[in-house]
Amino acid sequence: MHLRGSIVLLLILLTGGFSLDCYECHNQLEGICRQSTCRSDHNMCASSKKLQYIAGIKVESIYKSCSVPLDCESWSISTGDFRRTYAVECCDTNFCNKQSAPDLSSLKNGKSCYTCDWEDCSKTLSCWGNEDYCFTTYETSSSDHSNPPLTYKGCVSKSACDRPGLLVGSNGNATCCLGNLCNGAQSVTQSFLFLCCSLLPFILLH
């Protein structure tokens, strides 16, 4: 029995232990996927689909890869003219990511959030699919801090809120909330005036 156990252990070591094998391609629409052995910290095979809608133009990319559980959550972000979705399916057996991930729901879910255009942030947006949260981000130019920050508002999935770097215009200062229109209507002009008033004492003292 000890000899048999030693032989099994030796076979495991020679075949790479518990490494997972997955299909991998950066964009299946542009080429053929290859077979790949995952790193030890990547214990899932993933099949994902990214869609972007910008001003009515759709861009689609399909990926397959080794993955980690953090990247196995689907999400969606909408601001009105812009929408980005990430649909993913993960599994934990060799080459189990052969099938493509299904599209996320494109049906309105009954929730609404405020969104912004070039004039104000008082317009409302109907949310889609799993977009169950509202968000707000402020983007400040890295080269010119004298200009007021740009404000972005819209609908978002909870899984994207947990990773604020995914949000449009996010510089680490994104906020999310649960509930219809919970992300507040704020005029861009009002935001600019508030910024000017806040800076006025500093300007007078210098």
Contact of 63 with 25, CB cutoff 8 Å: yes
Asked whether residue 6 is domain-assigned, the answer is: no
Q: What mean pLDDT comes out for the span 180-201?
A: 54
Per-residue pLDDT at 16: 46
- The CATH number of the domain holding residue 124 is 2.10.60.10
130 and 184 in a single domain? The answer is yes
Residue 52 dihedral angles phi and psi, to the nearest 5°: -130, 135
- Domain holding 149, by residue range, is 107-206
User: Measuring CA to CA, which residue among 85, 65, 82, 64 is closest to residue 73?
Assistant: 85
User: Measuring CA to CA, which residue among 163, 133, 168, 155 is closest to residue 71?
Assistant: 163
Domain end marker among 104, 125, 154: 104
Asked whether residue 65 is domain-assigned, the answer is: yes
34 and 118 in a single domain? The answer is no
Per-residue pLDDT at 199: 35
How far, in Å, CA of 33 to CA of 27, rounded? 8
Percent of the chain past pLDDT 70, that is, above it, reads 72
- Mean residue pLDDT across the chain: 79
98 and 157 in a single domain? The answer is no
Number of domains in the chain: 2
User: Measuring CA to CA, which residue among 88, 132, 91 is closest to residue 110?
Assistant: 132
Q: What mean pLDDT comes out for the span 146-172?
A: 80
Domain end marker among 104, 126, 142: 104
Q: What mean pLDDT comes out for the span 152-179?
A: 83
- Confidence band (pLDDT; 50, 70, 90) for 134? very high
Asked whether residue 60 is domain-assigned, the answer is: yes
Q: What mean pLDDT comes out for the span 159-170?
A: 78
100 and 124 in a single domain? The answer is no
Asked whether residue 58 is domain-assigned, the answer is: yes
Tell me, yes or no, if the pTM score tops 0.75: no
Residue bearing the bigger pLDDT, 193 or 110: 110
